[in-house]
Homo-oligomer: A and B are copies of this chain.
Amino acid sequence: MSNHTRIEHLGKPRVLIIGGGFAGIELAKSLRDADVQVVLVDRENYHTFQPLLYQVATAGVEADSIIHPFRKIFNDQKNFYFRLADVEQIDTANRLVETSIGLIEYDYLVLATGATSNFFGDKEMEEKTISMKSLDDAVTLRNTILQNFEKALQVDDEEQINSLMDYVIVGGGPTGVELAGALSELRKHVFPKDYKELDFCEMDIHLVQSGPALLKGMSEEASQKALKYLEDFGVKVWLNRRVKSYDGYTVYLDSGETMVSRTVIWAAGVSGSPIRGLRPESILKGNRLLVDVHNLVSGYDNIFALGDVAAMVTEEYPLGHPMLAQPAMQQGEQLGKNICNMLAGKPLEAFNYNDQGSMATVGRNRAVADLKIFKKEYKTQGFIAWLIWMFIHLISVVGFRNRLVVSVNWLWSYFTYDTGNRFIVGNKQVNIPVEETISHKAVV
């Protein structure tokens, strides 16, 4: 398709934002009163609150309550235009982006395309594991977990049962830790009631971390405490191990150990998702785009990158900022201001990351938090950290209605030790050809 797509021409500079994650949304918002046309392109029609994907996967909150339609977020913003499209490549010479719905012109292009799972070239791993980057991934994992137990009911070989009931999570960052914690809570409080015919002593949850500590980047206290919480919950944490290979059934660690599981969750590496058409010199290792302190992509004067896909290499952050919501949102907001500065002929302000700390929750009453408030550090673990985690995540979910729905779910889970959303919906699940190996024994 080579025709231009149909977007009203306002006679104003057009800021074309690719990707409606944290960075893209903040930028669009901060351009609310700017004399520009804001065009947001995304392949979904909604913003996803990624930090709670693991709760969708573990039936803690409704899938719909952590997403928010772009058109609704920007209902009242007059200069905002949305297009649902896949972006194919950039034609920088002609200031055009090629998309699935046609060509879109830009004056300023902003890449806020986020990150994807990095399988380091291992195709088999990519095919046979489940990631945790999109709503689709989360629903797929939820469906897979629930289907596994339904299938385990049909099996009488012990190894087969284990392969269906055991889980291996690769990666000991926040996603891996939070998933392992949530799964072990389900194992304790929920699954045994739902599947009385299964023996949940048989359900193993493995967490494999390549480094010597969990939650890399957080304090030693946080990482120690997270490890302790997980071990208390009965999670088998494998430190200093890498998954060498996985054939859909057996997981081989580089240390020689093996485990059997039909469900391996990939929460290990991520890499940026840049788009074709940029000069290769601008693309660093890990597929991030080298940007200056104004988020300008190196070698261009009107192409910016924000968030996970941007690597702003500074003395303090020689590999760029951590791939988290906070720097993404702050960069988005800053770039909004700088675009206004540019249009007004004013000097640009350099981005200065205000790190407010980080946190992760392991389960009920158990979280770890390294907070930075007015540059002072506060470390806390346990109940208080858990309350702070809940509060911050609750207020960060986009949309008042969503906040109410998430609150209902959390209060409900807290008081009933139960989560409500154990549905197998759609046909999304990792295809487990268990039929081939199951012997349907006549027990009736």
Contact = CB atoms under 8 A, between A and B. Distances in A.
Interface of A: 1, 3-9, 44-46, 62-65, 67, 69, 71-72, 75, 81, 83-84, 101-105, 135-136, 139, 146-147, 150, 153-156, 193-195, 197, 399-402, 404-405, 408-409, 412, 418, 420-426, 428, 435, 439-444
Nearest to A193: B75
A64 B419 CA distance: 12
Given A405-B62, A426-B136, A3 B442 contact: yes
Contacts of A442: 3-4
A444 B5 contact: yes
A421 to B, nearest CB: 5
A64 to B, nearest CB: 4
A62 B399 CA distance: 14
A8 B135 CA distance: 37
A444 B7 contact: yes
B408 A1 contact: no
Nearest to A443: B6
B150 A424 contact: no
Contacts of A435: 1
A404 B399 contact: no
A156 to B, nearest CB: 6
7 contacts: A3-B441, A4-B441, A6-B440, A62-B63, A84-B147, A402-B420, A405-B409
B420 A409 contact: no
Contacts of A69: 194, 422-423
A102 B154 contact: yes
B444 A420 contact: no
Contacts of A75: 193-194
